[in-house]
Amino acid sequence: MTALPALGEAWGLILQPIVLGYLALGVVMGLAVGVFPGLGGIAGLSLLLPFMFGMTPVLGLALMIGMVAVVPTSDTFASVLMGIPGSSASQATVLDGFPMAKRGQAARAFSAAFASSLFGGLVGASFLTVFIVVARPIVLAFGLPEMLMVTVLGLSMVAVLAGRIPLKGIAAAGLGIMIGTIGEGDAGGSLRMATYDIPYLTDGLKLVIVGLGIFAVPEIVSLLRQDSSIAKGASLGAGWAQGVKDWFANIWLSVRCSIIGVIVGVIPGLGGSVVDWIAYGHTVQTTRDKSNFGKGEVRGVIGPESSNNAKEGGGLVPTLLFGIPGSGSMAIFIGAVALLGSGDIEVGPGMLKSNLDLTYAIVWLLALANVIGTVLCIAASGGIAKLTTIRFTYLAPFLFMLISFAAFQSGQNFEDLLALFAIGLIGIFLRRFDWSRPAFLIGFVLSNPVEKFTNQAFQIASFRFRHGMSDGLHYVFSPIVIVLLIVTVVSVVLGIRQARLIMSEGEVQSGAKRAPLVFLLVIAAYLLTAVINASMIPDYAMTDKVIPLAVGSVSLLCCLVLLAQMIRRPEGDVIFADKEIAGEDADAPYGLWGTLAWFAALIAATWVVGFILALVGFLVAFFRIRAGAGWAKTLILTAAGIGFMCLMAGALNRDFPPGLLQHAYDLPWPLK
Amino acid sequence: MTISRFTRRAVMGMVAAAGLAAPIAAQADVDLSGKTVEWVIPFSETGGSAKWANFFAPLLSQELPGNPTVVVKFMPGAGSTKGANWFQQQKNGDGTLLFGTSGSTQFPYLLGDPRVRYEYKDWNPVMASGTGGVAYLNAEDGKKFDGSANNLKDTDFIYGSQGATRLDLVPLLAWKMLGMKVEPVFGIKGRGDGRLMFERGEANIDYQTSSGYVKGSADLVAEGKAVPMMTWGSLDENGNIVRDPTFPDIPTFKEVCEATDGCETSGEAWDAWKAFFIAGFPAQKIAFLPAGTPQEVIDTYVKAFDAVRNRDDFPTISSKRVGKYKVYVGDEAKAAVKTATTVPDSAKAYVKTWLKEAYGVELK
């Protein structure tokens, strides 16, 4: 193997001023795109594609890698600042990052997160340098049963995040899985809780929409009702230096989570969806004092952030070695590499043989991009953290604007906005009645892998068993499966014991029976409908039927037990947790429905006159009526909002949701 | 170049934001300078069609009068049905909208999928290009392969498949005609995943389109881990199936079928297979202008694509990026679309019955 000379050549390629310049340019563009929740690397890379044709390979790679590498770094801004999971890489960061911002520690959360990201990125690159030359057999060792077990391990993190009533956590995860099965089954094409008359539902709901709906909408609405700033008391506590110290104090946690990130990232087909949950679960289990999780524990930021940049490095393995993209942005990356230079570089099995120097250049460009990105982010974080001291009423309309636009980008349908609103409602009530939102999201994210791997592994296993008992057992119980099984069991047992201590929704008071009971009955009714719906799928399409039927029944059973408990227990029991009884929400000067109506109005107006015109009306009305601003301030803020929206969308070449007006008349962009 | 184009677009966005951008009136002679051509692909950014459009877009931009910016836009959904239904509604024939279809758009149309609300006959094809496919076996079963499938009929095969109504219909029907027992594991997301399944030993038969085979599977063959079985072949001028020019050493399905007992290269099964093969491979990806586009705009595009395929470096750059298959323009493209979208009713009926019996798939 000629690894060492190739490594030297790779550094020779990278350390040229022009290459570093392109890398920095990519990083800056990546940061700009990453701040936009839900767009991430795919939008950025598509934007770069036209320029890749015939470009000098190492320059093109520097530009693209600069952009891809920093998206999981910069989307931390949205998760910490606004509780918006910018991409699947920052779902778990929200849990403790956002409470930290509320406590006035946004800058500390940022720098802890960025330091962890940087370290994770570097650990990932070092690990890959050694690992990539021997990785092929290891990747091939992960067959369907192994991937199913990794998915189950991810699901088992529900145990840690289930909240005070484990049954509620399980039911929430089950509901997440059931929402994830909506649409056409992957295997047999049967419809679950969908009809061809509503084509939108047949494709299923997108992660961006569910993530925004479950986390961002409830938080925005809640903060808006309270009419204060994100950081309570409008004062900023610990600064960025504290965050770096926090990271250094937890360096071993950061090491372990980085390694988790690389390893899970290496497995093709799973990608980033589970890695931050596994890292978060690991963080909780290895922390002695668990009482602060969900309330702003800095370790809860360090763990997932260390893993998610390391994962990007791990994700390069299936991409470079097999030509199988680990994520959407990696898929575009593969396509773009084929356009570079004279087209000689083929991402895939040949890459290690013929282009080992370029392979190493990619790995270390990724690490360098992390360094540049982190430095820029830390430099910016103090200023950006000040946003948390602004009266939230002035931020909220821009956030509604951003999440609506992000939701629309996922499918370019008007229905995307309706789905965001509907999932947002679910999120609001899950939050209010202390049902674990993380558990719901884990269920949703892992719904498709669970179903796919279960069906495929089952089909191949039964095929092997037909050949012989030992053949089948050998396939199902490989050493990797057994190890993962043990890890899963241990983590579930530990998790259930610890779950009571972790309140991802903070302290919630309990109150009267009626409201929590009604919500439980609504969930049970949906689950029952979904189970009946699944049972009507004909038997030949068993693959589309078995998961919704099984998961739905289990969740329904949980609901029934909860129902029995609710009937028997007295009012004020922990099972009747309700945020409207006492605390921030109950004391808020504005009601839920009045606040939500603003968002509904924006969506309704979009349906009539299209997004940009609706936004103009929405912003003006909001600032004048709700915020009570003068005309001058209103107009300046509105112009700034619209200008920013058009600038970003124009640069990224994106459209806005059209309305009835746009169907009737042909208008120029951005009114189009 | 990168910086300036990025800035220019950003500035355009800003100008538009300020409300200064005025709509540009359509002109009589076709000049697209200053305009943006949107090439809509009804799949996600990650698929083969994206690769295909991204390859042609900058070349097309150079050849169109006025050198408009050609941007590729993605509108995934319902396996391309959503995008195609949308395109059916589009009326702007000023040459700023181009649409790209693939075999996955053709198959639901041919099979009478109820979601199809589009009509190929309304659209104006300007360019079409194709690909081929290669089926291969693992080393163990490959030893039993002697140019016919006679010794393979007792083996249980497992195959990672994207769905019986997709392009996978062609290999699945071929293996069925050869009398092989192939059990598809559905729910695979791309042919790359299928190859990985084969490499892990979970699947023991696989097929790849030409570019996928050259990039990934040919190495397996060289290492002795896989044995090529057959290509789907290629069409000559008279519509006969001949050996694929990319793989002249691998027999076609037609040859294997002739050598295999009980497999017929005539009759309804064969006609159905051939019809769907033609729809899925030799004219797999087609670029269309919307219904009602004026003839001069169509001619402009045909000329531009013709110039692209006649570039001196086209054979080299295209073979590496999209495979060395013929690019049809103008009337050839029209003819290709006609063959790709015309399947005899008997073939449709045969395939529908088979899909229902073998996989329980009903299209209604």
Partners of residue A455 in chain B, C-beta under 8 Å: 185-187
- pLDDT tens digits, residue range A10-57? 888 888 889 999 999 999 888 877 766 666 667 777 777 767 777 888
> Is-contact A110 A385, C-beta < 8 A?
yes
* CA-based torsion, B89, B91, B92, B95: positive or negative: positive
Residue B348 belongs to a domain: no
The answer to whether residues B192 and B319 belong to one domain is no
In whole angstroms, give the CA distance from residue A306 to residue A300: 10
Pairing status of strand B285-289 against strand B327-329 = unpaired
- pLDDT at residue B16, as a whole number: 42
Instruction: Identify the CA nearest to A508 among candidates A572, A570, A562, A582.
Output: A582
Of the residues B228, B262, B280, which one is the last residue of a structural domain? B280
The answer to whether residues B56 and B108 belong to one domain is yes
Q: Which of residues 62-81 of B touch A (CB under 8 A)?
A: 69-78, 81
DSSP for B68-134 reads: -EEEEEE---GGGHHHHHHHHH----SS-EEEEE-HHHHHHHHHT-TT----GGGSEEEEEE---EE
In whole angstroms, give the CA distance from residue A539 to residue B360: 9
The answer to whether residues B248 and B288 belong to one domain is no
pTM of the model: 0.84
Question: How confident is residue A387, by pLDDT bands cut at 50, 70 and 90?
Answer: confident
Partners of residue A186 in chain B, C-beta under 8 Å: 186-187
- pLDDT tens digits, residue range A441-495? 889 988 988 998 898 999 899 888 888 888 889 888 999 899 989 988 988 887 7
Look at A140 and B71 and tell me if their CB atoms are within 8 Å. Answer: no
Across the range A646-671, mean pLDDT stands at 81
Q: Which of residues 241-300 of B touch A (CB under 8 A)?
A: none
Q: Which of B14, B185, B311, B363 to mutate to test the interface with A (most CBs of A within 10 A)?
A: B185
Instruction: Identify the CA nearest to A443 among candidates A175, A645, A105, A138.
Output: A175
Question: How confident is residue A226, by pLDDT bands cut at 50, 70 and 90?
Answer: confident
- pLDDT at residue B10, as a whole number: 45
Across the range A396-411, mean pLDDT stands at 86
- pLDDT at residue B2, as a whole number: 40
Which residues touch A366 (CB under 8 Å, ≥6 apart)? A65, A68, A69, A121, A124, A125, A312, A313, A316
- ipTM higher than the 0.90 cut: no
From A89-103, A147-161, A223-237, B145-159, the region with the lowest mean pLDDT: A223-237
Output the domain CATH number for residue B296: 3.40.190.150
> Is-contact A597 A424, C-beta < 8 A?
no
Residue B204 belongs to a domain: yes
- pLDDT at residue B8, as a whole number: 46
How far is the CA of B200 from the CAs of A68, A266, A375, B203, B249, in angstroms?
A: 29, 15, 42, 8, 27
The answer to whether residues B80 and B208 belong to one domain is no
Instruction: Identify the CA nearest to B279 among candidates B170, B117, B145, B160.
Output: B170
The answer to whether residues B249 and B268 belong to one domain is yes
> Is-contact B352 B111, C-beta < 8 A?
yes
Residue of A nearest to B5 (CA): A51
Residue B363 belongs to a domain: no
The answer to whether residues B186 and B102 belong to one domain is no
In whole angstroms, give the CA distance from residue A334 to residue A476: 33
* Alpha carbons within 13 A on the beta-carbon side of B96: 15
Picking from A188, A323, A541, the nearest residue to B215 by CB comes out as A323
Across the range A295-308, mean pLDDT stands at 89
Tell me the backbone φ, ψ of residue A105, rounded to 5 degrees: -110, 30
Look at B16 and A650 and tell me if their CB atoms are within 8 Å. Answer: yes
Listed by start position, the domains of chain A span 3-229+239-539
Identity at A477, one-letter amino acid code: F
> How many domains are there within chain B?
2
The residue that leads in pLDDT, A609 or A235, is A609
In whole angstroms, give the CA distance from residue B320 to residue A28: 32
Distance from the B2 Cα atom to the nearest Cα atom in chain A, whole angstroms? 6
| CB proximity A144 to B under 8 Å | yes
Q: Is B296 helix (H, G, I), strand (E, B) or coil?
A: helix
The answer to whether residues B119 and B241 belong to one domain is no
Partners of residue A666 in chain B, C-beta under 8 Å: 92
Question: How confident is residue A256, by pLDDT bands cut at 50, 70 and 90?
Answer: very high
Whether pLDDT at A404 is above 70? yes
- pLDDT at residue A253, as a whole number: 93
Across the range A54-68, mean pLDDT stands at 86
Tell me the backbone φ, ψ of residue A524, rounded to 5 degrees: -60, -40
Look at B360 and A203 and tell me if their CB atoms are within 8 Å. Answer: no
Quote the domain boundaries for residue B314.
37-130+283-341
Residue B19 belongs to a domain: no
Q: Which of residues 174-233 of B touch A (CB under 8 A)?
A: 183, 185-187, 190, 192-193, 195-197, 199-202, 215-216, 219
Whether pLDDT at A534 is above 70? yes
Q: Which residue has the tokens 């009946």?
A: A532
The answer to whether residues B76 and B155 belong to one domain is no
Q: Which of A653, A654, A656 to mutate to test the interface with B (most CBs of B within 10 A)?
A: A653
In whole angstroms, give the CA distance from residue B14 to residue B9: 9
- pLDDT tens digits, residue range A104-162? 888 888 889 999 988 998 888 888 888 877 877 887 888 889 889 888 888 888 877 77
Question: How confident is residue A634, by pLDDT bands cut at 50, 70 and 90?
Answer: very high
Whether pLDDT at A172 is above 50? yes
Query: CB neighbours (10 Å) of residue B154?
Result: 9
| CB proximity B156 to A under 8 Å | yes
Which residues touch A582 (CB under 8 Å, ≥6 apart)? A509, A511
Of the residues B280, B306, B326, which one is the last residue of a structural domain? B280
Which residues touch A291 (CB under 8 Å, ≥6 apart)? A501
Picking from A460, A649, A651, the nearest residue to B158 by CB comes out as A460
Residue B225 belongs to a domain: yes
Picking from A140, A349, A650, the nearest residue to B219 by CB comes out as A349
The answer to whether residues B251 and B311 belong to one domain is no
Q: Which of residues 16-55 of B touch A (CB under 8 A)?
A: 16-18, 21-23, 44-47, 50-51, 54-55
In whole angstroms, give the CA distance from residue B125 to residue B117: 18
The answer to whether residues B230 and B289 belong to one domain is no
> Is-contact A618 A605, C-beta < 8 A?
yes
The answer to whether residues B89 and B171 belong to one domain is no
- pLDDT at residue B152, as a whole number: 93
Look at B13 and A650 and tell me if their CB atoms are within 8 Å. Answer: yes
Size of interface A-B (CB pairs under 8 A): 179
Partners of residue A324 in chain B, C-beta under 8 Å: 190, 192-193, 196
3-state percent breakdown (helix, strand, coil) of chain A, nearest 5: 75, 0, 25
Look at B45 and A199 and tell me if their CB atoms are within 8 Å. Answer: no
Q: Which of residues 310-349 of A touch B (CB under 8 A)?
A: 322-325, 328, 331-332, 335-336, 338-339, 342-344, 346, 348-349
> Is-contact A417 A603, C-beta < 8 A?
yes
pLDDT along chain B (364 residues), means of 10: 44 42 45 85 77 87 89 78 87 86 87 85 91 92 92 92 86 95 85 86 91 82 94 86 90 95 91 89 90 92 93 81 78 86 87 89 70
Q: Which of residues 422-451 of A touch B (CB under 8 A)?
A: none
Query: CB neighbours (10 Å) of residue A379?
Result: 11
- pLDDT at residue A547, as a whole number: 93
Tell me the backbone φ, ψ of residue B307, rounded to 5 degrees: -65, -35
Instruction: Identify the CA nearest to A155 among candidates A258, A262, A270.
Output: A270
Partners of residue B5 in chain A, C-beta under 8 Å: 50-51
* Residue A191, beta-bridge partner list: A184
Look at A50 and B58 and tell me if their CB atoms are within 8 Å. Answer: yes
Query: CB neighbours (10 Å) of residue A313?
Result: 31
What is the overall mean pLDDT for chain A? 84
Calculated CA dihedral for residues B52, B57, B63, B69, nearest 10 degrees: 170
Q: What percent of chain A has pLDDT over 70?
A: 93
The answer to whether residues B155 and B243 belong to one domain is yes
Partners of residue B311 in chain A, C-beta under 8 Å: none
Which residues touch A190 (CB under 8 Å, ≥6 apart)? A184, A537, A538, A541, A544, A545
Whether pLDDT at A623 is above 80? yes
Partners of residue A419 in chain B, C-beta under 8 Å: none
Q: Which of residues 121-140 of B touch A (CB under 8 A)?
A: none
Residue B280 is inside which H or E element, if any? helix B267-280
With vertex at residue A448, the alpha carbon angle to CA A442 and CA A450, rounded to the nearest 5 degrees, is: 75
Picking from A343, A346, A651, the nearest residue to B10 by CB comes out as A651
Partners of residue A645 in chain B, C-beta under 8 Å: 17
Picking from B51, B192, B216, the nearest residue to A338 by CB comes out as B51
Which residues touch A593 (CB under 8 Å, ≥6 apart)? none
Instruction: Report which DSSP code applies to B46.
Output: T
Look at A332 and B10 and tell me if their CB atoms are within 8 Å. Answer: no
Partners of residue B72 in chain A, C-beta under 8 Å: 46, 49
> Which of A387-401, A506-520, A539-553, B171-185 shows the highest mean pLDDT?
B171-185
Partners of residue A268 in chain B, C-beta under 8 Å: 193, 196
Output the domain CATH number for residue B199: 3.40.190.10
| CB proximity A199 to B under 8 Å | yes
How far is the CA of B37 from the CAs of A51, A287, A652, B93, B98, in angstroms?
A: 16, 56, 15, 12, 7
Picking from A196, A343, A541, the nearest residue to B360 by CB comes out as A541
- pLDDT at residue A150, as a whole number: 86
Residue B16 belongs to a domain: no
The residue that leads in pLDDT, A387 or B306, is B306
Partners of residue B21 in chain A, C-beta under 8 Å: 668-669
- pLDDT at residue B13, as a whole number: 44
Which residues touch A172 (CB under 8 Å, ≥6 apart)? A162, A430, A435, A436, A437, A439, A440, A443
| CB proximity B57 to A under 8 Å | yes
